């Protein structure tokens, strides 16, 4: 054989050696989850800082206070005493992180099968609704089965909700972006009806307010760090950590994950290998929805306990999951870090910031600004890699022309 | 042909990130000469021609046109200087007429409007002058591939090309069309045009070219007059070692029928019947070759046999088991091995490692997996063995398949298919895009598998490949078997059948 080594470099290693633009991109690709997302996040924070500066404040001080507000300064003097401000703040950040990990996984899993799940929010809401219903009913059950039923029901409901989009894609080719967005709206209006005046899940005691019943004590998740009445960090946090491990195991250590990845990379090659593409599209979407539904269950049973019509438009963790997954490169570890980053931002910007440091109107929106910038940059990065890959694809084709 | 040089390229160097595509290449072309550029994949032929045509900038070296140094910033500059290029993939607009396509961009105008009559007249003049028979008023979408190529050549001539670059011109043609193309080249030559003919087919190059320049790994190896060259000498120069060009094989010893196709009908995704009543058998220990022009139902036939496409009616029997359902897994389990025609889209998951690709059919079976649990280490161990056995170069089990060269990618596919020990091996275009060395390897391997008692179905657009490997040849035309041959048969006869002109048996 003489086919080795005569063509243009096709492995990143070869390209990286030459130090050209091409090599830098290959290096980025090879570094995979690290260089690009870190740069993306840094640039997003930089631009966020410029906006803070434009309002006449020192961005470094603003970021320092957000850092402290999120309880991340806890690592300088760690303590389990929840009375300490930093410990309390950290517990709240981790509570947000719990939800974001699962919402991130909901996007990441579908992505690994080649689909873009924009419906995390709808699947999350469905999880909330079902957990509230199951958590309020069966009130005389003992805690463990009650919690398992509520969590299991919400998870399955989230899976079924996302499965609709997967089924539509597999059978009639409806694009999952469109159908998941529509399913989001259906979930939103379903909530308006469920908890609204006279709705089936509206508060039984007070028919005047469009709010749900409270989850029974037997279905509430045990607090793990803090006082339950003061919104403690509950054991749901460990469920999210377990979900990260399960996500990794499914993708890398099961035949299901092998199929999902094969379909995600190349549906045609997967079909040739004997893998059913349709089955995997439905299944991957359902697993995605299960993660989001689980997020809804943990929030409902962990600290929300009830949910009102007015809470629906305010909630957006499902969408934040998109930024988390994109920043985390759709990997388990990346999603964990992305969730921590956005969890800290969410909590750190919404309380205790002095107006001397940052304009109050800007504070809460800084998270969403950084979220938007991250999605934009990650999207642009995908675009750049896409253009780069097209160039790489074009070159071998030109080469083949003279076979 | 005179000794006058119309083109000199001296010391051309072009570097891409991490690879030197052209390294001090010299090329000189005489007026009225057919100059062949020969080389393996990635030898730098395309790069050199793209530099000449103004698509790439060279890093070093100079280009002299009629003795004067030139710099081309774009293809437009090159065209203005009298250089024309016919790419392998035509760039024509199907809904426009031949004349409109030819004058596109340099239209004769009637005030603001296209002067259709002048355009047609000029095109007709050109086509008569060079014996390039084509109707200027015909729609491009309705003419044959051979005619499309003529339109491309006319397009270049219309723009005043003196030097014409033909990139793999015969790759898309039937043998008859190739003959006609050669006649056209001769008439262009007689008119004083110079032609640079890019090819990898040694016999063609020897037939048409006056001189031959061989490139290997970006360097010019030699420029020789074709009169003194032989296929063996050219192959040696291309590859850098002796190459066995003739496939050596013992006579076939056919055994039981392992693949039987009966009155098969298949439609494509648009619902158009593509396979229309095809029946044939393939026996153990024989290679049946299916010849045909691209798009005559070969793809659909293979997809049906491999369970990737639903069949309309008819039967497919593998080793005595009839398979009704279109399921790839069922076909694989029945003992069909498949080297697909598009290894990059179908044969491999390019983002997967070699190990993962080798497990593509049986990742879910022990020892690769148990109860849905995958054992990556076992995948790697198996791949390591096959990489050694099939001499895959350029990486280990964890190397991304997309990072391998074409020949090595194909070896991964072949290793996977053959290691499953299939009863029936379907090889679709197994050597497409590969170079001489890899082709030699694959041909030997296919014959070896035949001798192991597998039934081999070979589908190829390369008639030469069909002729040299097959024990029996079927010709497919518009979804039907247009001819069957055992033993000696002429290229002409098959070429005729490929175009649907079945020769009547003498009464």
Q: What values do phi and psi take at A212, rounded to 5?
A: -75, 175
Encoded tokens for A351:
């309380």
CATH number of the domain within which B115 lies:
3.40.50.300
Between CA A49 and CA A61 the distance in angstroms is 10
A-B Cβ pairs (cutoff 8 Å, strict)? 181
Q: Are residues B292 and B357 in the same domain?
A: no
* B349 part of a folded domain: yes
Q: Are residues B217 and B258 in the same domain?
A: no
Q: Are residues B155 and B301 in the same domain?
A: no
Q: In this complex, is the C-beta atom of A270 within 8 Å of any C-beta atom belonging to chain B? A: yes
Between CA B303 and CA B274 the distance in angstroms is 11
Q: Are residues B140 and B219 in the same domain?
A: yes
Max Cα-Cα span within chain A: 81
Segments forming the whole domain that contains residue B366: 342-421
Asked if residues A113 and A284 have their Cβ atoms less than 8 Å apart, the reply is: yes
| Cβ neighbours of B217 in A, within 8 Å | 6
Q: Are residues B313 and B456 in the same domain?
A: yes
* B80 part of a folded domain: yes
Q: How far is B427 from chain A (nearest CA, A)?
A: 14
Q: In this complex, is the C-beta atom of B407 within 8 Å of any C-beta atom belonging to chain A? A: yes
- Give the pLDDT confidence score for residue B64 in this predicted structure: 93
Residue pLDDT, tens place only, A216-229: 999 999 998 888 87
Between CA B266 and CA B277 the distance in angstroms is 9
- Give the pLDDT confidence score for residue B113 in this predicted structure: 75
Contact B168 A402 (CB under 8 A): yes
Query: In the listed set B421, B443, B464, which residue is the last one of a domain according to the structure?
Result: B421
- Give the pLDDT confidence score for residue B120 in this predicted structure: 86
Encoded tokens for B293:
């022009």
Query: In the listed set B211, B239, B267, which residue is the last one of a domain according to the structure?
Result: B239
- Give the pLDDT confidence score for residue A382 in this predicted structure: 59
Distance (Å) of CA B101 to CA A236, B35, B104, B123, B158: 67, 28, 5, 10, 11
- Give the pLDDT confidence score for residue B93 in this predicted structure: 87
* Nearest one of B70, B54, B56 to B14, comparing CA atoms: B56
Asked if residues A320 and A100 have their Cβ atoms less than 8 Å apart, the reply is: yes
Residue pLDDT, tens place only, A365-403: 888 888 888 888 776 765 555 555 555 444 443 333 333
Mind listing the domains of chain A with CATH numbers?
34-391 (1.10.3470)
pLDDT at A198 over 90: no
- Give the pLDDT confidence score for residue A397 in this predicted structure: 38
Q: In this complex, is the C-beta atom of A207 within 8 Å of any C-beta atom belonging to chain B? A: no
- Give the pLDDT confidence score for residue A140 in this predicted structure: 79
Contact B18 A15 (CB under 8 A): yes
Query: In the listed set B190, B213, B239, which residue is the last one of a domain according to the structure?
Result: B239
Between CA A264 and CA A280 the distance in angstroms is 9
| Cβ neighbours of A399 in B, within 8 Å | 41-42, 46
* Nearest one of B419, B383, B385, B418 to B401, comparing CA atoms: B383
Looking at per-residue pLDDT, the higher value among A82 and B307 belongs to: B307
CB contact set of A391 (below 8 Å; sequence gap of 6+): none
Name the domain count of chain B. 3
Q: In this complex, is the C-beta atom of A173 within 8 Å of any C-beta atom belonging to chain B? A: no
The partner residue sitting opposite B18, judged by closest CB among A17, A258, A269, is: A17
Q: Are residues B77 and B155 in the same domain?
A: yes
Residue pLDDT, tens place only, B232-280: 888 888 888 777 667 778 888 899 999 999 999 999 888 889 999 999 9
* B274 part of a folded domain: yes
**pLDDT digits (tens), chain B, 507 positions:** 567 899 999 999 998 776 788 999 999 999 999 999 998 777 888 889 999 999 888 999 999 999 999 988 888 889 999 999 998 778 888 888 898 888 887 877 777 777 788 888 888 888 888 878 888 888 888 888 888 889 999 999 999 899 999 988 887 777 788 888 999 999 999 989 999 999 877 888 999 999 999 998 889 999 999 998 888 888 888 888 777 667 778 888 899 999 999 999 999 888 889 999 999 999 999 999 999 888 889 999 999 999 999 999 999 999 888 887 778 898 999 999 999 988 888 999 988 999 999 999 999 999 999 999 999 999 999 999 999 998 888 888 998 888 887 788 999 999 999 999 999 999 999 988 777 778 888 899 999 999 999 999 999 988 888 998 999 999 999 899 999 998 788 888 888 888 776 544 443
* B246 part of a folded domain: no
* B247 part of a folded domain: no
Mean of per-residue pLDDT scores for chain A: 84
Pairing of strands B60-65, B5-16: antiparallel
Contact A268 B351 (CB under 8 A): no
Q: Are residues B227 and B363 in the same domain?
A: no
Q: In this complex, is the C-beta atom of A23 within 8 Å of any C-beta atom belonging to chain B? A: yes
| Cβ neighbours of A257 in B, within 8 Å | 374
Q: What values do phi and psi take at A80, rounded to 5?
A: -90, -5
Contact B364 A3 (CB under 8 A): no
* B380 part of a folded domain: yes
| Cβ neighbours of B49 in A, within 8 Å | 402
* B441 part of a folded domain: no
Q: What is the mean pLDDT of residues A135-163?
A: 93
The partner residue sitting opposite B328, judged by closest CB among A11, A17, A271, is: A271
pLDDT at A4 over 60: no
The partner residue sitting opposite A255, judged by closest CB among B306, B349, B364, is: B364
- Give the pLDDT confidence score for residue A171 in this predicted structure: 94
Q: Are residues B100 and B230 in the same domain?
A: yes
pTM reported for the whole predicted model: 0.76
Between CA B412 and CA B450 the distance in angstroms is 19
- Give the pLDDT confidence score for residue B451 in this predicted structure: 94
The partner residue sitting opposite B240, judged by closest CB among A2, A14, A254, is: A2
Residue pLDDT, tens place only, A24-65: 444 445 445 566 778 788 888 899 899 889 888 889 988 998
Q: Are residues B159 and B111 in the same domain?
A: yes
Q: Are residues B96 and B154 in the same domain?
A: yes
Between CA A316 and CA B38 the distance in angstroms is 62
Q: Are residues B186 and B70 in the same domain?
A: yes
- Give the pLDDT confidence score for residue B375 in this predicted structure: 95
Contact A1 B361 (CB under 8 A): no
Q: What values do phi and psi take at A337, rounded to 5?
A: -65, -40
- Give the pLDDT confidence score for residue A33 in this predicted structure: 52
pLDDT at A10 over 50: no
Q: Are residues B232 and B277 in the same domain?
A: no
* B437 part of a folded domain: no
Asked if residues A108 and A335 have their Cβ atoms less than 8 Å apart, the reply is: yes
Asked if residues A295 and A317 have their Cβ atoms less than 8 Å apart, the reply is: yes
């Amino acid at each position: 054989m003489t086919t080795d080594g005569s063509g243009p470099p096709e492995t990143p290693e070869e390209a990286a050696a030459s130090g050209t633009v091409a090599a830098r991109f290959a290096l980025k690709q090879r570094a995979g989850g690290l260089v690009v997302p870190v740069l993306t996040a840094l640039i997003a924070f930089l631009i966020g800082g410029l906006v803070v500066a434009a309002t006449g404040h020192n961005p470094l001080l603003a970021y320092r206070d957000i850092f402290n507000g999120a309880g991340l300064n806890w690592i300088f003097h760690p303590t389990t005493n929840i009375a300490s401000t930093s410990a309390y703040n950290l517990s709240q950040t981790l509570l947000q992180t719990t939800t974001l990990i699962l919402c991130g996984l909901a996007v990441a899993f579908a992505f690994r099968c080649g689909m873009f799940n924009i419906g995390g929010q709808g699947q999350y809401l469905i999880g909330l609704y079902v957990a509230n219903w199951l958590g309020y009913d069966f009130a005389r059950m003992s805690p463990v089965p009650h919690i398992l039923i509520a969590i299991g029901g919400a998870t399955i409901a989230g899976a079924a909700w996302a499965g609709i989009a997967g089924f539509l894609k597999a059978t009639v080719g409806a694009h999952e972006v469109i159908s998941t967005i529509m399913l989001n709206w259906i979930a939103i209006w379903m909530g308006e009806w469920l908890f609204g005046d006279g709705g089936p899940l509206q508060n039984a005691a007070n028919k005047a307010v469009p709010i749900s019943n409270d989850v029974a004590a037997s279905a509430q998740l045990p607090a793990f760090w803090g006082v339950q009445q003061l919104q403690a960090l509950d054991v749901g946090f460990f469920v999210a950590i377990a979900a990260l491990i399960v996500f990794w195991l499914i993708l890398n250590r099961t035949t299901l994950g092998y199929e999902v990845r094969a379909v995600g990379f190349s549906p045609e090659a997967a079909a040739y290998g004997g893998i059913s593409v349709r089955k995997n599209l439905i299944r991957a979407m359902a697993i995605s929805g299960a993660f989001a539904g689980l997020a809804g269950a943990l929030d409902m049973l962990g600290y929300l306990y009830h949910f009102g019509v007015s809470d629906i438009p305010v909630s957006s963790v499902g969408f934040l999951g998109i930024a988390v997954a994109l920043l985390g490169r759709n990997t388990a570890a990346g999603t964990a870090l992305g969730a921590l980053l956005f969890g800290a931002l969410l909590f750190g910007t919404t309380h205790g910031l002095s107006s001397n440091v940052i304009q109050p109107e800007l504070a809460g929106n800084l998270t969403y600004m950084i979220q938007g910038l991250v999605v934009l940059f990650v999207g642009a990065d995908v675009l750049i890699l896409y253009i780069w890959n097209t160039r790489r694809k074009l070159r071998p084709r030109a080469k083949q022309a003279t076979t | 042909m005179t000794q006058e040089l119309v083109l000199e390229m001296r010391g051309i160097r072009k570097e891409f990130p991490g690879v030197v595509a052209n390294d001090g290449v010299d090329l000189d072309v005489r007026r009225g000469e057919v100059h062949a550029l020969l080389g393996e994949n990635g030898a730098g032929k395309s790069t050199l021609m793209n530099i000449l045509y103004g698509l790439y900038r060279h890093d070093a070296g100079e280009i002299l046109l009629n003795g004067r140094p030139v710099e081309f910033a774009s293809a437009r500059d090159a065209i203005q200087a009298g250089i024309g290029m016919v790419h392998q993939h035509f760039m024509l607009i199907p809904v426009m007429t031949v004349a409109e396509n030819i004058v596109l961009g340099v239209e004769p105008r009637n005030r603001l409007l296209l002067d259709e009559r002048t355009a047609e007249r000029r095109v007709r003049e050109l086509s008569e002058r060079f014996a390039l028979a084509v109707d200027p008023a015909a729609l491009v979408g309705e003419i044959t591939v051979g005619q499309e190529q003529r339109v491309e050549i006319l397009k270049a001539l219309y723009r005043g090309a003196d030097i014409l670059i033909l990139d793999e011109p015969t790759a898309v043609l039937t043998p008859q069309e190739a003959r006609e193309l050669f006649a056209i080249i001769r008439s262009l030559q007689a008119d004083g045009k110079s032609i640079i003919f890019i090819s990898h087919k040694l016999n063609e190059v020897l037939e048409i070219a006056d001189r031959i320049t061989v490139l290997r790994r970006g360097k010019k190896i030699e420029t020789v007059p074709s009169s003194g060259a032989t296929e063996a000498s050219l192959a040696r120069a291309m590859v850098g070692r002796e190459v066995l060009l003739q496939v050596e094989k013992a006579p076939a010893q056919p055994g039981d029928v392992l693949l039987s196709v009966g009155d098969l009908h298949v439609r494509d995704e648009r619902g158009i019947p593509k396979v229309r009543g095809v029946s044939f058998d393939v026996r153990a220990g024989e290679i049946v070759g299916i010849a045909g022009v691209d798009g005559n139902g070969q793809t659909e036939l293979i997809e049906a046999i491999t369970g990737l496409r639903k069949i309309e009616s008819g039967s497919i029997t593998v080793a005595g088991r009839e398979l009704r359902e279109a399921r790839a897994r069922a076909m694989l389990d029945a003992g069909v091995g498949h080297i697909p025609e598009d290894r990059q889209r179908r044969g491999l998951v390019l983002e997967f490692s070699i190990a993962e690709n080798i497990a593509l059919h049986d990742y879910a079976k022990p020892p690769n997996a148990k109860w849905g649990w995958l054992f990556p280490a076992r995948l790697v161990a198996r791949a390591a063995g096959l990489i050694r056995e099939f001499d895959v170069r350029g990486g280990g089990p964890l190397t991304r398949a997309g990072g391998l060269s074409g020949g090595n990618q194909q070896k991964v596919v072949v290793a996977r298919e053959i290691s499953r020990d299939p009863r029936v091996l379907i090889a679709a275009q197994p050597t497409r895009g590969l170079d001489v060395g890899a082709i030699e390897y694959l041909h030997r391997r296919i014959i070896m598998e035949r001798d192991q008692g597998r039934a081999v179905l070979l589908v190829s657009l390369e008639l030469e490949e069909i002729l040299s490997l097959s024990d029996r040849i079927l010709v497919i035309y518009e979804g039907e078997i247009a001819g069957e041959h055992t033993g000696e048969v002429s290229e002409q006869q098959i070429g005729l059948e490929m175009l649907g002109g079945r020769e009547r048996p003498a009464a």
